[in-house]
Amino acid sequence: MTNRYAWMDEEWGRLEKIAQSRQINTVDSVLGERGAWIRVSGRSLLNLSSNNYLGLAHDPRLKAAATEAIEVWGAGATASRFVNGSCSLYTELEQRLADWKQREAALVFANGYQANTGVISALVGRGDAVFSDRLNHASIVDGIVLSRAEHYRYRHNDTEHLEFLLKQHRNARRKLIVTDTVFSMDGDTAPLAELVTLRDRYGALLMVDEAHAGGVLGERGEGLSHELGLHNEVDVIMGTFSKAFGAYGAYICADQSVIRYLTSKARSLIYSTALPPSVIASIHAALTIVQEDTSRRGRLRQMSSWFRKRLNTHPFEVGAGSSPIIPLIIGDNEKALQYSRMLEERGIAAVAIRPPTVPVGTARIRFTVMATHTLSELEWAADQLNQIRADLEGERG
């Protein structure tokens, strides 16, 4: 009998050889409301790998809101919003989001992946051109592939290269520039003002992905476009509820014409079951905290900048930027995995990020800081890391 799966085993073997196979680790439990500690295989680990930047995922207010909504609305949405209608929690949330972002309208999606794929493939198609930062999230890349538009990747944050490409393809039917605002694996930010200028100069549309900026940047956690006063300049603002909001889901904020168009055209919205009402209820609770609790955001900034500075006092290559995403560039895949394993042995959960998530030769440990980490926890983690570095260098010498 032939093995129908032999080619899969072969490909998996190839990935394993270059230290690019993946596995999913099981977490036994989360210890306490701060979300800072998890239990894995019977051991407690300091979690430095979560996007739970504000520490809201285990907040009692989010949990209570979800529980209450389950009692009223049940466990699931049961269909797409176009089939079943959507519970009033949805429409209230979209109004609150539009007010928060000071845009005409908002639209909720099931997650960031679906928002990016659905929106991009609705905005552009064959004969159009998308200009996308080389380090943009995979969901943006997949949205472009799905759209069948031409895909032009500009060098990371390099607006000269972008302009060169825009000039070269100025005759494309429609042009879309798309960028993360805070880059998910690098933690640095996009040059939004220059992107707005180029958008205007070349008659393009500009879409930004605020997944890692929402809740973190802006006076009321609106994101980078607000922090820079450019929220009305950007055509489409996308953000997620899965990170600083501690919940799940995503949104688009834009002018009414854009939202009305996307409501009829975004296939990932139309052909997929809506988020459960309990998730929408926890987003409502998180949004109130994100808007009002500025001290949490301040603490996140303080903790992140302390940890970043502390890592910079050692001979590590730490990514630029000032966000809670602090990548420690290692380079080699196997070496990055070794760091991650050794950190775990010392009680720290910090994931190794390898290609294709990041470019070849730039494997890294992606540390993420939360507002609920304490200084002594971060100090301890930095000490452990430094000892690992010393051990590994000793091995090499």
Residue numbers of the site for ligand PLP (CB under 6 A)? 111-113, 116, 137, 139, 180, 184, 209, 211-212, 240, 242, 250
| Helix (H) or strand (E) segment spanning residue 304 | helix 294-312
Number of H helices, E strands in the chain: 15, 14
Q: For ligand PLP, which is the closer residue by CB, 278 or 384?
A: 278
DSSP single-letter state for residue 221 = S
Q: Which is nearer to ligand PLP, 103 or 137 (CB)?
A: 137
> What are 178's strand-pairing partners?
132, 207
From the list 50, 139, 184, 278, the catalytic residue is 184
CB of 342 to ligand PLP, least distance (A): 26
- Least spacing, CB of residue 150 vs ligand PLP, in Å: 22
Lookup result for tokens 């032939």: 2
- Is there a catalytic annotation at residue 243? yes
| Dihedral angle sign, alpha carbons of residues 102, 135, 311, 241 | positive
Query: Alpha helix locations (H) across 102-234?
Result: 112-123, 138-147, 159-168, 192-201, 224-227
Rounded least distance, CB 290 to ligand PLP, Å: 16
Three-state DSSP state, 294: helix
Indicate the residue among 204 and 213 with the shorter CB distance to ligand PLP. Answer: 213
* Shortest Å distance, C-beta 233 to ligand PLP: 20
Is 212 a catalytic site residue? yes
Closest CA to 350 of 338, 333, 334, 362: 338
Phi, psi of 244 (to 5 degrees): -60, -25
CB of residue 210 to ligand PLP, shortest distance in Å: 8
Nearer to ligand PLP, 248 or 307 (CB): 248
58 as an active site residue: the answer is: no
Q: What is the spatial distance between Cα 286 and Cα 359, in angstroms, rounded to a whole number?
A: 34
Please name the residues in contact with 95: beta carbons below 8 A apart, sequence gap of 6 or more: 106
Q: What's the DSSP call for residue 189?
A: B
Give, rounded to a whole angstrom, the gap between the first and last alpha carbons of the chain: 51
Q: Give whichever of 231 and 310 is closer to ligand PLP, judged by the CB atom.
A: 231
Distance of closest approach, residue 208 Cβ to ligand PLP, in angstroms: 10
3-state class (DSSP) for residue 151: strand
User: Considering beta carbons, is residue 55 or 112 the nearer one to ligand PLP?
Assistant: 112
Catalytically annotated residue among 101, 137, 175, 243: 243
Query: How far is 258 from 339, CA to CA, in rounded Å?
Result: 46
* Closest residue to ligand PLP: CB criterion: 112
Could you list the active site residues?
A: 184, 212, 243
